[in-house]
């Protein structure tokens, strides 16, 4: 059915929302900025970091934005003890999908440095033949990073699907003229995802693998 599966990372592959929220709150506190609520930070997960910060702190100047970005990265990478682990079943399902011939890619709001680090930490990097990060192209929900992935892989939009946990992921996929799949266990409520007419909302990662297997059986 699909040749290329394009995944968001944070909130879809890895359960990192808690660390993102805590790290951003700590960074803002260090700079004496107004307290950021959990909901406010969770809402911007998936966007590129500069775009996210401008939403969280309206009117922030460029210098303060850069300081907040650096502090956030420091907390997230080394100073925040909040766990950020793969969601249950992710490793097995990704390996199974890859073994069955699906081509895999990542479209993420992370930086290239951040994605390369988690690729190495999780040991999953070898599964993905293409990836785009927010500091390499235009932030979600602009479809540019998906268009670049399609161009790199030579896959048509009709043969690809975007999979993510936020409305930014699904909006991006729709704008790129491809099917979208939402996961309900991430940061945005499934009601927000339903607005983009996903072909599936998965409540566990393994449900994605099971659904794709059923679709393949129907086609065959």
- The catalytic residues are 8, 10
Q: Quote the CA–CA distance of 122 and 10 in Å, as a whole number.
A: 13
Longest dimension (CA), the chain: 60
What is the b/e burial string over 36-67, where b = at least 16 CB atoms within 10 angstroms of the residue's CB?
A: beeeebbbbbbbbbbbbbeebbeebeeeeeee
Q: Quote the CA–CA distance of 204 and 169 in Å, as a whole number.
A: 17
Q: Quote the CA–CA distance of 205 and 182 in Å, as a whole number.
A: 10
């Amino acid at each position: 059915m699909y040749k290329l599966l394009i995944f968001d990372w944070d909130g879809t592959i890895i359960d990192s929302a808690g660390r993102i929220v805590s790290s951003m709150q700590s960074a803002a506190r260090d700079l004496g900025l107004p307290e950021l609520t959990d909901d406010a930070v969770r809402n911007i997960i998936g966007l590129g970091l500069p775009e996210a910060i401008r939403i969280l702190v309206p009117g922030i100047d460029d210098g303060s934005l850069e300081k907040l970005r650096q502090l956030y990265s420091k907390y997230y990478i080394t100073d925040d003890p909040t766990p950020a682990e793969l969601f249950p079943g992710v490793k097995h399902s990704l390996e199974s999908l890859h073994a069955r011939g699906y081509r895999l890619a990542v479209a993420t709001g992370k930086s290239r440095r951040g994605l390369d680090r988690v690729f190495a930490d999780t040991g999953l990097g070898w599964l993905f033949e293409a990836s785009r990060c927010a500091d390499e192209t235009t932030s979600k929900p602009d479809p540019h990073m998906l268009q670049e992935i399609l161009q790199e892989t030579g896959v048509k939009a009709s043969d690809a699907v975007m999979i993510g946990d936020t409305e930014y992921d699904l909006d991006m996929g729709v704008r790129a003229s491809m099917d979208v799949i939402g996961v309900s266990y991430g940061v945005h409520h499934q009601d927000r995802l339903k607005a983009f007419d996903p072909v599936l909302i998965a409540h566990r990662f393994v449900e994605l693998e099971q659904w794709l297997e059923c679709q393949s059986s129907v086609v065959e």
